[in-house]
Amino acid sequence: DGGITQSPKYLFRKEGQNVTLSCEQNLNHDAMYWYRQDPGQGLRLIYYSQIVNDFQKGDIAEGYSVSREKKESFPLTVTSAQKNPTAFYLCASSPGPTPGGASIEAFFGQGTRLTVV
Amino acid sequence: GENVEQHPSTLSVQEGDSAVIKCTYSDSASNYFPWYKQELGKRPQLIIDIRSNVGEKKDQRIAVTLNKTAKHFSLHITETQPEDSAVYFCAASLAGIKAAGNKLTFGGGTRVLVKP
């Protein structure tokens, strides 16, 4: 498995702590995304970035923050303001908008399972 | 924004039978519809996708159909095998438009169990 790497695989957080999930890609993709997956549910978009130094909120951004200082990296911080952070977090990347609306296959990392203890 | 509904949430089929999963979307501007397969404990992976200028696409035992007028699309798996057991997600996107961010909006997923 190469391409997009998330770490750590498992993460435990105490109440009131901020934690940062790492996401790195070597696919030269412009766009990167963070999704949250809860048991038995689909993937919900937290934040996305189409280019370095730019990012936008997704559907459930409250309690989360991101940065995009490098093309390869898109870390996600789960802050203490996120009231229910226990979930499986997936990072993805895609080539970004292309002329003619070509397919935008998203490549996913292996995920980070975050648990509040 | 886009909303994608997926049905059924669980599907149990006998090996060799067909499986059909249906999705509806709300934004008529969406033009790209991928399907992802997620095996237990693994990352979602693209299995097939379709663009809005095509009504049907097939790849071996899997096929996807799209009805733009009704705003729904379906995944068909024929001759199911035990290794088809997984969670399947549909998604919709407005691809190729920078302002839209190439965001994928996912359905809630369908857990498929193929019984030998």
pLDDT, one tens digit per residue, over A6-42 is 999 999 988 889 999 999 999 999 899 999 999 878 8
Nearest to B43 among A33, A59, A108 (CB): A108
- The predicted structure's pLDDT at residue A40: 75
Say yes or no for a CB contact (<8 Å) between B96 and A99.
yes
What is the sign, positive or negative, of the torsion defined by CA atoms of B80, A111, A37, B92? negative
Chain A closest-CA separation from residue B25 CA (Å): 14
HSE-CB of A110 using CA atoms within 13 angstroms: 10
A65 to chain B, closest Cα gap in Å: 18
Question: What integer pLDDT is reported at residue B87 of this predicted model?
Answer: 96
φ and ψ at B98, to 5 degrees?
Answer: -60, -40
Render pLDDT for A45-87 as a digit per residue (tens, 0 to 9).
999 998 899 999 999 999 999 999 999 999 999 998 888 999 9
For residue B41, give the chain A residue with the closest CA: A110
Higher-pLDDT residue of B52, A1: B52
Q: Pick B107's closest partner by Cβ from A42, A102, A110.
A: A42
CA distances from A114 to A21, B42, B49 (A): 9, 15, 30
Tell how strand A76-78 and strand A19-25 pair up: antiparallel
Residue A98 sits at the chain B interface (C-beta within 8 Å): yes
Point out the residue among A45, A50, A104 whose CB comes nearest to the CB of B95: A104
Q: What's the gap in Å between the CA of A110 and the closest CA on chain B?
A: 5
